[in-house]
Structure 1
Amino acid sequence: MNIGTKVALAVAVAAVCVASAVGLLVHRITAADQLASARSDMDRRLMSAVYDQAAGRKSEARLDPPDLPAAVSEAVRRGVRVTYLQDGPHPVLWAATRVSDRTVLALSRPYGCEADELAELDRTLVTTGAAATVVVSLAGLALGVRMGRRARAAAHTAERIAHGDLDARIGPQGRDEIARLAASVNAMADALGARLEAERRVTADIAHELRTPVAAMVTATGLLPPGPAAELVTGGVHKLRGLVEDVLEVARLDADAVPMETETRQVSAMARRAVAGLDAAEGVVGVRIVTDALAETDPRRVERILTNLVANALRHGAPPVTVEVDVERDRDGDGPVVRVRDHGPGFPPDLLTVLTTSGPQRFRTGCGSAGTGLGLTIASGQARLLGARLTFRNHPDGGAEANLRLTGDDA
């Protein structure tokens, strides 16, 4: 149950309680005033009838009426002058007094008119209370819906910020707690954006400063005499150079400082070029064309994405690795898709949850193996720049699978 419904129900319940209490109070006060006025009038008429009886004049009172209620008779015979309301389908108001030791003088009149007036008052109170409850409930519903809409907007903006949209903000509305929450979310987004920007600058600066000494190390390794030690040092230096270049590329992707050069290319050609660039992929990586297509994109970046995906599959999965080119239909229409699948154990459940919710996390590796963890991060950033969609899953027949959905026309 959302906050709008809760507020509306709370207001409706409060309105019903207030209307019921007010109606009951008005009913009791009116009934008491009505009965007191009628008794006073009957007592006055009874005293007038007593005077008429004493003077021998005819009056509307009766002596010892047979229908006199027993309670009235007993009270009068004890010397009490009584006014008494006899309840029933046809209520009667009595007034009686003793005029001698054994004689009772009594007056009576129907009380149905007052009862009808009270019933009419009750109907009016019920109608008015119901109308007031409906109006107040509608007002509460409007207030609740407005509060719920603002709370949902704040939650939606917070979710956008959590997914990386640091420019998302909540428009200020009012001065209540929700407005304070919105201001706090905006301040959090500002602080988070400033901190991430500082981290990006530091990362880019460090990687840039490392390029020169790493290049010198690469040159120096070429002067080493051949041998196992030279091969070990050379391999480590080349991995270090690749890591520095990857860090620089991640920094450029984070800053969106990457130029785009789009052209129309066959998806199959880009897939083959991406695989051809992997020296270690000979004999363990195959390209399968189900349906070829043309795509309007930046081919260099598509090849970079596919190269990273295949390299990640070779490093953390198990051969053979299959690169499949096909065309699939979704809500956006037909579009080329490239599937990269290995035959390893697949993504661990916790990593797959991260990949499907927030995307690849830098320096987090897949399948429990060692590695820098930047390959999928770079692939995801390049896909974002291309307007492509990169998704991950575990194939039903085993192995990890990455799907790159491009935009284009069937070939």
Structure 2
Amino acid sequence: MKLPRISRPPRLPLPRWTATLTWKSAVFITVMCCALASLLGVLVHVSVTRQTVGEARHKALDRLADVTQMYEAGEQLPPGAGLDPPELPPSLRRLAVSGKRGTLVDDDHGRPTMWAAGPADGRALAAEIDYTQSARTINGLDKAILGSSILAIGATLLVGVFAVTRITRRLHQTATVARRIDAGDLDARVNDPRTKDPSRPQDEVAIVAGALDTMASTLQGKLLSEQRFTADVAHELRTPLTGLHAAAELLPAGRPAELVRDRVQAMRSLTEDLLEISRLDAGSETVDLDMQQLAPVVERVVRASVASGTAEADTTLTVVRDACVETDKRRLERVIGNLLANAHKHGKAPVELTVHGPVVTVRDHGTGYPDYLLDHGPQRFRTDAGNKGHGLGLTIAAGQAAVIGAELRFANAADGGAVARLELPEYVSFEAPESGERPHAE
């Protein structure tokens, strides 16, 4: 027999702030303060109650001893004493009749009373004393314990949250600097004052901040060394390549000369690309912004690419809506040209360009971009599973797009093919309205 499965109700998602260290610390401090206050309160309550009840018991037994002497002497018993009084608790009465003495706190007509009883000729001889003041003392002590515990918990919680907030603020600052470094800002540093003076004691947060600053400095130094090496290599290669190009032009016509010129030209293009990347890495590029109609710029790039052989003649350009953009024309042409050349070199025809407002889309119908490029962006000379890499074209395109303030995204189409989407800042002209006209986008 198969037992039915019991479905459990789904857990309600907790608010995100409950995962913060401040909230967890506040809960921990509150719980520990409550536990400590409860323990101390119980200990004080038990100790004081035991002492107060003990003193009242001694007084009641002393009074019972005096009443017993008066009973044995045949004297009249004072008020609050007597044989088998009706207010005597039954349990204490039975104890006295059995021949033992005892005490018990009971409520006598709304008044706390300490009873003491003992045997007297087979009956219970009892005496009572007022327990009101002792009960008030214990109740007042309990209220004082509760109030002081609440105040102590509140004060401790405020001090604890303040201390934890200082730590979490430093942790948030360290995390913010780490994100800035991840985004490419290698000059970002935590600069915790505790790490600057070695003689000062350092806590764990300061140690983490110091380690992050050291890592950022080391990483920045390595990257700068690589950038200088790339720039130096490219610069040093220009002179021999220029001479090699001149020598190749002197070779007699023929297939070997064509191969040499082709390889020399490839080396010169690679050297220029390396120099361009070194300038982009150094952040030394300056832009010359101007207003440009986007569709004519893209059309000129397509014609120039077809004429130079980097693009095929069947490249199609579709203008859905033209737009005026504020950009650097030369750098924009460089970006679109590299995207178009990459589509023809690594994709498959047909290659389609679309201008829709300030957005230019370049799509091919090949196998699409590799996963590493979609996840981390273009990487220099990166190859995937032994396949041919994407060289430096997309890296330069991404760098130049960032310089002109454009957003370049890479994706794969659902029906196959790579899609590069370049979105530029559109220029919007706000003119004085005439005849009720509204501001318009050119």
What TM bracket, shorter-length normalisation? 0.7 to 0.9
Deviations 1:288-344 (A, max 9, x none): 2222222222111111111111111111111122222222xxxxxxxx222111122
* Cα distance in 2 between the residues matched to 1:154 and 1:367: 37
Counterpart of 1:324 in structure 2 is: 354
Shift of the alpha carbon at 1:219?
A: 2.1
> Measured at CA, do residues 354 and 89 of structure 1 come closer, stay the same or move farther in structure 2, by a change above 3 Å?
farther
Partner Cα distance (2:314, 2:323) in 1: 25
SS state at 2:321 partner: coil
Partner of 1:172: 192
Which residue is 1:107 aligned to? 127
Is the CA contact (8 Å cut-off) linking 1:5 and 1:144 kept in structure 2? no
One of 39, 60, 65 as aligned partner of 1:42: 60
Residue in structure 1 matched with residue 239 of structure 2 by the alignment:
212
Once the two structures are TM-superposed, the CA of residue 363 in structure 1 deviates from its matched residue by: 1.7
Q: Does 1:95 align with 2:116?
A: yes
1:125 and 2:145 matched: yes
**Runs of 5+ in structure 2 lacking a partner?**
1-18, 195-201, 428-440
Separation in 2 of the partners of 1:103 and 1:290? 114
Deviates more, 1:199-208 or 1:68-77: 68-77
Residue 305 (structure 1) aligns with: 335
The answer for the alignment partner of 1:392 in structure 2 is 410
* 1:5-404 matches, cutoff 5 A: 5-58=23-76, 59-60=78-79, 61-65=81-85, 68=88, 72=92, 76=96, 80-85=100-105, 92-98=113-119, 102=122, 104-109=124-129, 111=131, 114-115=134-135, 117-172=137-192, 175-278=202-305, 279-280=308-309, 281-327=311-357, 336-355=358-377, 360-364=378-382, 369-371=387-389, 373-404=391-422
Is the 8 Å Cα contact of residues 317 and 367 (structure 1) preserved in structure 2?
no
- C-alpha deviation, 1:263, in angstroms: 2.4
Q: Which residue of 2 aligns with 1:332?
A: none
Give 1:29 shift. Answer: 1.5
Could you tell me how far 1:144 is from its partner in structure 2? 3.6
Post-superposition offset of 1:124 = 4.0
Whole-angstrom distance in 2 between the partners of 1:88 and 1:190: 83
Which one-letter code corresponds to 1:349 in the other structure? D
Distance 2:384 2:64 in 1: 103
In structure 2, do the counterparts of structure 1 residues 311 and 87 end up closer, same or farther at CA, with 3 Å as the change threshold?
Answer: farther
Amino acid in the other structure paired with 2:353: V
* 1:121-163 Cα shifts (integer Å, max 9, x gaps): 4344334423433443344334444433332221221122022
Percent identity at matched positions?
40
The verdict on how the C-alpha distance between 1:88 and 1:45 changes in structure 2, with shifts beyond 3 A counting, is closer
Change (3 A) 1:368 1:322: farther
CA deviations 1:169-228 (Å, max 9, x no partner) are: 224266432222122211211111111111111111111111112222222222333333
RMSD: 2.8
Q: Which whole-Å CA distance do the structure 2 matches of 1:45 and 1:89 have between them?
A: 21
- Between the aligned partners of 1:405 and 1:372, the Cα distance in structure 2 is 22
* Equivalent pair of 2:230/2:274 in contact (CA under 8 Å): yes
SS of 2:313's partner is coil
Paired with 1:222 and 1:89, the residues of 2 have a C-alpha distance of: 125
Cα shift at 1:396? 3.5
Query: What is the rounded CA distance, in whole Å, between the counterparts of 2:399 and 2:109 in structure 1?
Result: 85
Q: How far apart, in 1, do the equivalents of 2:123 and 2:355 lie?
A: 117
Match of 2:12 in 1: none
Q: Which amino acid aligns with 1:318?
A: K
Q: How many residues align?
A: 398
Question: Contact 2:325/2:425 (CA < 8 Å) preserved in 1?
Answer: yes
Whole-Å separation in 1 of the counterparts to 2:285 and 2:124: 113
User: Which stretch of structure 1 is more off in the superposition, 383-392 or 167-176?
Assistant: 167-176
1:265 offset after TM fit, Å?
Answer: 2.0
Instruction: Choose between structure 1 and 2 for higher RCO, CA contacts under 8 A separated by at least 6 residues.
Output: 1
- Structure 1 CA distance, aligned partners of 2:56 and 2:142? 19
2:421 & 2:56 partners in 1: Cα distance?
90
Partners of 2:23 and 2:193 lie apart in 1 by 20
TM-score, normalised by the number of residues in structure 2: 0.81
Q: Secondary structure at the match of 1:404?
A: strand
Alpha carbons of structure 1 residues 68 and 300: separation in structure 2 relative to 1, 3 Å: same
Contact kept? 2:346, 2:390, Cα under 8 Å: no
Q: Specify the SS of the correspondent of 2:285.
A: coil
The 2-side partners of 1:88 and 1:258 are apart by: 97
Say if 1:85 and 1:94, in contact at 8 Å, map to a contact too. Answer: yes
User: In the alignment, what sits opposite 1:330?
Assistant: none
- Give the structure-1-normalised TM-score: 0.86
Q: CA deviation at 1:55?
A: 4.2
What is the deviation of 1:365?
5.1
CA distance in 2, matches of 1:361, 1:88: 91
